[in-house]
A and B are shown apart, each in its own frame.
Chain A
Amino acid sequence: MAKRMKAKEDQKIIKLAILAVGGQGGGVLTNWITDVAERNGYLAQATSVAGVAQRTGATIYYVEMCPDTGRRPVFSLAPAQGDIDILIAAELMEAGRAVMRGFVTPDRTTLIASAHRIAAVSEKVEPGDGRADSPTVHRNAREAASRYICFDMEKVAVEAGSVISSSLFGALAGSGALPFPRESYEKTIEASGRGVKASLAAFGRAYDLTVSGARVEEGRPDAAPASKQITVDGPQRLVARWNALAARAEAYPEPVRSMALAGLRKVVDYQDLAYGAEYLDRLDKALAADSAEKSYALGEAAAKHVANAMCYDDILRVADLKTRTARAERIRTEMKVGEANVLQVTEFFHPRVEEFCGTLPARLGRFIENRPGLAHWVDRRINRGRRIRTDSLFGFGALWLIGTLRPWRRSLLRHQVEEAHLERWYALALDTAQRDYALAVEILNCRRLIKGYSDTHVRAHSKFDRVLSGLPLLEGRDDAADWLRRLREAALKDEKGELLDGALKTVETLKAA
């Protein structure tokens, strides 16, 4: 029998798959695509998998089409690896998944992906930064696809008051991957009958961006920004003193300079100018042990983490931040509150005796804390959830009054506890710097572990202590800094610190070896 390559002589079937996250409206886009195909004299078949899989999980829609010749073609019901002409990913990691599953091949696949991210649960639950690495996806997608069209289509849609189906549809039209004119796509949207104007706007914008070859920026989107210009407003006298402090920070070598300016702004905003001077004094100590050939890593780490340590999260800070004009304005913008609307804001507080004592003068606070019976009695009166309406006079007033305590912060119990902790940690780092510079930098970086409020804060402190408990075992080793970094990274991976425990055990065996 003669060997035949029938597929070549025949009509070609165009295969298009959509990978989306459940709830993104992939069904709407699928219907539009079959509609536009039929408008252009094509036969089209769409399939999807309905059911619980669509509840926020990754999901696939699949369309096949070919010109209508009067005969019924045999379409497949599911996408196959290496056999996709157009792949639309409604989110960046879904583009990565498409490549992983072999749906994107350099010989034929046009990959249209939205660059925005919808974080998966696994990315959110890490105590540290669990977000997936977008540049890896871009790199692989570009390599895998015949054409890679990628920009933030979610943003395009939201800005037009529409949803992502419209901008994806626009990018598909703009790509020219389907042999259909733009007008037929627009007719499809018009025929759908809902939110037509906004859909067309998003469609048009995405179409133009695709035609003009818009690309997602190459670099890490969240690389440390160049030092920002800031404006300062306030009484002349204070501004003058600020300028003097800022000049001190300006004199530091980069990269300490930009970090120190950010840190200085934070501590002055947190407390006052004297606190800013204290901050710079502390920083000077680190810089004394630093040098250009070490690229000022110690100074930079100190500039970052000393500022964070000095601005511990207490009730005064929260009350202050929640009663500022800038905050009220931010909420109004974020929630799109117009002048015709009224905004009501409810805050969720749950104070305990610990926070109460921390806000008392140090001696009084200690007096209560040292008497468990008394502390318990106080706790029973305080410890419950409080919802405070900061748009009401009473709620706002209460927080505003707490904010007035700021000048006395240095005399409060919490400040003394925090300052003692800071001094111990900083001294340890500076002392270590004499013997092992890199290790000292890592000790400073461990400050990143301390965050959260109440129980979370206590757990964070315990992790910080456990990580530093590895120090005696590590000191003197060439790779001590590397190990401390590993311990810290392990601690940031899970809530309970099971990975950290494992890493600490490994460190113990190092000593034995």
Chain B
Amino acid sequence: MAERSFVKEVQKLRLGAGETFHGEGILAITKALLQCGVGYVGGYQGAPISHLMDVLADAQDILGELGVHFEASASEATATAMLAASVHYPIRGACTFKSAVGLNVASDALANLASGGVTGGALIIVGEDYGEGSSIMQERSHPFAMKSQVWLLDPRPNLPSIVKAVEDGFELSEVSNTPVMLMVRIRSCHVTGSFETKDNKRPEMTVADALENPRRDTNRIVLPPASFLHEKEKVEKRMPAAVDFIRSRQINEFFGPERGKAGIILQGGMYNSVIRALQRIGLADVYGETDVPLYVLNAVYPLIDDEVIDFCEDKESVLIVEEGQPNYLEQAIASMMHKKGVDTRILGKDILPMAGEYTGQVMLDGISAYLRANAPELLAAQVLAPNAPGENTLAADLAKVVPGRPPGFCTGCPERPIFAATKLIEQELGPHHISSDIGCHLFSIMPPFELGATTMGYGLGPASASAFNSPDAKRRSISFVGDGGFWHNGLTSSIGNAVFNENDGVIVVVDNFYSAATGGQDILSSRADNPTKSTKHPITDAVKGMGVKWVRHIDRTYDVTKVRAALREALTTKEKGPKVIVASSECMLNRQRREKPLTAKAISGGERVVKPRFGVDEDVCTGDHACMRLSGCPSLSVKKLDDPLRDDPVASIDHTCVGCGNCGEVADAAVLCPSFYRADVVHNPGWWDRFTDRVRRGVTGFLQSRREKRRLTFADA
């Protein structure tokens, strides 16, 4: 079950012709796919398009009614390879994943798909995870389009434009026999808005029809001599067809006056930011009416040379607004000017920053600077010679005070105790080389754990430790991989590789029952019943099947002592070959979501329910915070006591504690202190509970009052 349910919202997918859809970008994209008569969809989850996968999963009934096949692909490569269904058959297909990481994984399949070309429209919706909030390396999807020669759409970030891009994308793909990538930026996926809907269309040919009537064409298969022909075909047929389509259908848009000294060419995705900057300097109104000519590239690859030249020719200079680097658009446009002998100055990354997100301030500064230098007559006096903005003096003062707040493990996260145990084993056996992977467990690199030296890609944690396999060393490497990464790529690239190369290192598979970091989607080893997917395939079986001999399974990661013992054994055993520890406990975020309503219902229904929560005896706690250096749990924090004798704040657990047990286990395993206690509150106690409670409280009360009667008892007045 995914973190967010779209069961209610997917009903909007049923809207018909002439109705109005209100909602988020991802739902709009799904609706657009159905309006286009898509025959099959798939993808791999990851921000910012995780919710697109969740929407599709929750919409399976509606997809089924229309004869649309849905696939929760094993990886981005799988998702892209799936588009092979559109090679010989006129079926429209779409897949989605996060990028640039997804395209990195998918590029083998993408290149093969692009070489042979497609018959049915093939759309790859890439969620560009770039800028604030991104969790990956900062790269662009753009060069993947260039190198494989697939077309890249980057529509203006509003729902009607995005929906139109889906429709145009399929057509463009079909007329040019080329897969098309549709890029949506991180905030477009969750932008809210509305558009007028059309009726959903059943695919003209379903995957079932295709299975019944197989086709093949040797010329579409990537093997010489066909592959040589494919390359020529790309340049001679497909690209010109794409250019014609983009020009004739006016995919790219012009805004503002037709002529002018200065103009701006921009990626469609940057449109709203450019308009905002123009609004702020008085050159555009709320509705986007602008005094500066704009050429908006909703298709950023390929470029339409004559459109570009026509736009630039009469201008003294043109600014290219292109987020991310390298500056492919700027290079291409400058080259066009040069070849045509047009002397318009092409500016871009010399005024705007080469690297980094184009935020509101960056756009305002860049566009103002450009216009001040190249079209000052457009600007009002205050923009021409602005008051020196001055440094934000308050920032310097606050920078010393305001702590950074990077993401970390959630309250009760089952991965926390695994890293607490790792930190403890390092205290015992010394530091080790630790390889990390992609997933929530990568938070181990931050305080308080600070464990892990590299992250090389999804499922590649153990693979990235593969060089560290030396008979000369007395120490072994430790590598982590999550269950998501394990099934994505890790089983072969990491585990298989370690077995084959007789790697002596320790591999910890962090199994939390979901692809948790991407929003709790089910995977092969999930413990949940999934009506349409096959789950409950144990990781230990897969690992053993790969040939690993030394496998330990920990079925409750909160047992820090046991995890530490397993690590100790793995790091010291004489046995050769990879040592694999599978540490399993359910993702707490998902567990709470699953259990909370059930518990509430059970309590109100009169059932006996025990609810655990931890607490700290503040007079026993000495305020050394050793527990927090092994936790970092949001619910375990510091609290200043109202006691003049105490200088340092003590530990305190707030009401958000879910009683996972980590505090007690760590206090025990690390021999910390006796301040923690677990309070189990029994709701709807049975007669035996009540009876023993009465007896116990009677006796303890007697002992307490006996002692307290003979001594002084202090209380605050």
Q: How far is the CB of B651 from chain A (nearest CB, A)?
A: 9
A49 CB contact (under 8 Å) in B133, B291, B637: B133
Residue from the set B191, B377, B443 with the largest chain A CB neighbour count within 10 Å = B191
**B624 in contact with A140 (CB, 8 Å):** no
Whether A313 touches B620, Cβ cut-off 8 Å, given contacts A6-B283, A230-B717, A232-B712, is: yes
A100 CB contact (under 8 Å) in B279, B284, B399, B669: B399
**A119 in contact with B637 (CB, 8 Å):** yes
**B291 in contact with A93 (CB, 8 Å):** no
Q: How far is the CB of A484 from chain B (nearest CB, A)?
A: 16
B674 CB contact (under 8 Å) in A49, A132, A318: A318
Q: How far is the CB of A495 from chain B (nearest CB, A)?
A: 6
Bound-state CA distance A335–B655 (Å) is: 8
Question: Which A residues between 318 and 343 are near B, CB-CB below 8 angstroms?
Answer: 318, 321-328, 331, 334-337, 340-343
**A225 in contact with B713 (CB, 8 Å):** no
13 contacts between A and B (CB under 8 A): A6-B284, A49-B190, A73-B287, A78-B359, A83-B360, A99-B395, A100-B392, A124-B628, A325-B705, A336-B681, A348-B678, A448-B647, A451-B622
Bound-state CA distance A450–B655 (Å) is: 30
Q: Which of A199-207, A263-271, A281-289, A436-444 contacts B (4 or more CB under 8 A)?
A: A263-271
B614-627 vs A, CB cutoff 8 Å, 1 = contact: the mask equals: 01010110111110
Contacts of A48 in B (CB 8 A): 187, 190
A376 in contact (CB, < 8 A)? no
Bound-state CA distance A13–B275 (Å) is: 13
**B644 in contact with A269 (CB, 8 Å):** no
Closest chain B residue to A8, Cβ basis:
B282
Contacts of A331 in B (CB 8 A): 615, 677, 679
**B680 in contact with A343 (CB, 8 Å):** yes
Bound-state CA distance A46–B24 (Å) is: 9
Whether A321 touches B707, Cβ cut-off 8 Å, given contacts A77-B191, A125-B629, is: no
**B408 in contact with A56 (CB, 8 Å):** yes
Q: Which of B60-68, B496-504, B696-704 contacts A (4 or more CB under 8 A)?
A: B696-704
A121 in contact (CB, < 8 A)? yes
B681 CB contact (under 8 Å) in A4, A258, A318, A337: A337
B353 in contact (CB, < 8 A)? no
**A56 in contact with B626 (CB, 8 Å):** no
A377 in contact (CB, < 8 A)? no
Bound-state CA distance A324–B671 (Å) is: 24
Bound-state CA distance A46–B403 (Å) is: 27
Q: How far is the CB of A163 from chain B (nearest CB, A)?
A: 10
**A268 in contact with B712 (CB, 8 Å):** yes
Whether A342 touches B377, Cβ cut-off 8 Å, given contacts A74-B288, A350-B667, is: no
B385 in contact (CB, < 8 A)? no
**A50 in contact with B48 (CB, 8 Å):** yes
Whether A307 touches B645, Cβ cut-off 8 Å, given contacts A313-B622, A343-B680, is: yes
**B407 in contact with A52 (CB, 8 Å):** yes
**A50 in contact with B645 (CB, 8 Å):** no
Bound-state CA distance A229–B405 (Å) is: 40
Question: Which B residues between 544 and 586 are near A, CB-CB below 8 angstroms?
Answer: 561
Closest 5 CB pairs of A and B: A80-B360, A51-B47, A49-B133, A57-B407, A385-B668
Question: Which A residues between 450 and 475 are near B, CB-CB below 8 angstroms?
Answer: 451-456, 460
Bound-state CA distance A317–B675 (Å) is: 12
Question: Which B residues between 676 and 717 are near A, CB-CB below 8 angstroms?
Answer: 676-685, 689-690, 693, 695-696, 699-701, 703-705, 707-717
**A53 in contact with B133 (CB, 8 Å):** yes
Question: Which B residues between 273 and 303 are near A, CB-CB below 8 angstroms?
Answer: 273, 275-276, 279-280, 282-289, 291
Question: Which B residues between 604 and 640 are near A, CB-CB below 8 angstroms?
Answer: 610, 613, 615, 617, 619-620, 622-626, 628-629, 632, 634, 636-638, 640
**B649 in contact with A230 (CB, 8 Å):** no
A377-398 vs B, CB cutoff 8 Å, 1 = contact: the mask equals: 0000000010100111100110
Q: How far is the CB of B715 from chain A (nearest CB, A)?
A: 5
Whether A456 touches B673, Cβ cut-off 8 Å, given contacts A132-B401, A233-B715, A335-B613, is: yes
Question: Which A residues between 235 and 271 are near B, CB-CB below 8 angstroms?
Answer: 235, 238-239, 242, 258-259, 262-263, 265-266, 268-269
Q: How far is the CB of B519 from chain A (nearest CB, A)?
A: 8
A81 in contact (CB, < 8 A)? yes
B598 in contact (CB, < 8 A)? no
Bound-state CA distance A73–B655 (Å) is: 43
Q: Which of A58-66, A177-185, A408-416 contacts B (4 or more CB under 8 A)?
A: A58-66
Closest chain A residue to B688, Cβ basis:
A342
B538 in contact (CB, < 8 A)? no
Closest chain A residue to B651, Cβ basis:
A124
**A348 in contact with B282 (CB, 8 Å):** no
Closest chain A residue to B282, Cβ basis:
A5
B409 in contact (CB, < 8 A)? yes
Bound-state CA distance A481–B98 (Å) is: 58
**A7 in contact with B282 (CB, 8 Å):** yes
B640-677 vs A, CB cutoff 8 Å, 1 = contact: the mask equals: 10111101110000010000000010011111111011
A76-114 vs B, CB cutoff 8 Å, 1 = contact: the mask equals: 111111110000000001101101111000000000000
**A3 in contact with B681 (CB, 8 Å):** no
Whether A308 touches B398, Cβ cut-off 8 Å, given contacts A77-B187, A123-B638, A385-B668, is: no
Bound-state CA distance A301–B647 (Å) is: 11
Closest chain B residue to A305, Cβ basis:
B645
**B285 in contact with A10 (CB, 8 Å):** yes
**B364 in contact with A80 (CB, 8 Å):** yes
**B645 in contact with A341 (CB, 8 Å):** no
A234 in contact (CB, < 8 A)? yes
B80 in contact (CB, < 8 A)? no
Bound-state CA distance A121–B409 (Å) is: 11
A506 in contact (CB, < 8 A)? no
Contacts of A34 in B (CB 8 A): 192
**A325 in contact with B187 (CB, 8 Å):** no
**B676 in contact with A348 (CB, 8 Å):** yes
A497 in contact (CB, < 8 A)? no
**B624 in contact with A325 (CB, 8 Å):** no
Contacts of A341 in B (CB 8 A): 681-683, 685
B188 in contact (CB, < 8 A)? yes
Whether A349 touches B674, Cβ cut-off 8 Å, given contacts A51-B133, A124-B625, is: yes
**B287 in contact with A72 (CB, 8 Å):** yes
B15 in contact (CB, < 8 A)? no
**B407 in contact with A453 (CB, 8 Å):** no
Contacts of B288 in A (CB 8 A): 73-74
Bound-state CA distance A78–B131 (Å) is: 11
A39 in contact (CB, < 8 A)? no
Question: Which A residues between 107 and 140 are near B, CB-CB below 8 angstroms?
Answer: 118-133, 136-137, 140
Q: How far is the CB of A289 from chain B (nearest CB, A)?
A: 21
Closest chain B residue to A226, Cβ basis:
B644
Q: How far is the CB of A467 from chain B (nearest CB, A)?
A: 15
B388 in contact (CB, < 8 A)? no
**A325 in contact with B682 (CB, 8 Å):** no
Contacts of A124 in B (CB 8 A): 448, 625, 628, 632, 636-638
A168 in contact (CB, < 8 A)? no
Contacts of B394 in A (CB 8 A): 99-100, 140, 143-144
Contacts of B676 in A (CB 8 A): 347-348
Bound-state CA distance A230–B402 (Å) is: 37
Bound-state CA distance A460–B286 (Å) is: 63
Contacts of B400 in A (CB 8 A): 136
Whether A57 touches B406, Cβ cut-off 8 Å, given contacts A80-B360, A335-B681, is: yes
Contacts of A225 in B (CB 8 A): 642, 644
Q: How far is the CB of A394 from chain B (nearest CB, A)?
A: 10
**B410 in contact with A55 (CB, 8 Å):** yes
**A346 in contact with B619 (CB, 8 Å):** no
Contacts of A460 in B (CB 8 A): 624
Whether A308 touches B674, Cβ cut-off 8 Å, given contacts A1-B378, A49-B133, is: no
Whether A234 touches B667, Cβ cut-off 8 Å, given contacts A55-B409, A97-B402, is: no
B112-150 vs A, CB cutoff 8 Å, 1 = contact: the mask equals: 000000000000000001001111000000000000000
Contacts of A476 in B (CB 8 A): none
**B680 in contact with A344 (CB, 8 Å):** yes
Question: Which B residues between 519 and 560 are near A, CB-CB below 8 angstroms?
Answer: 519
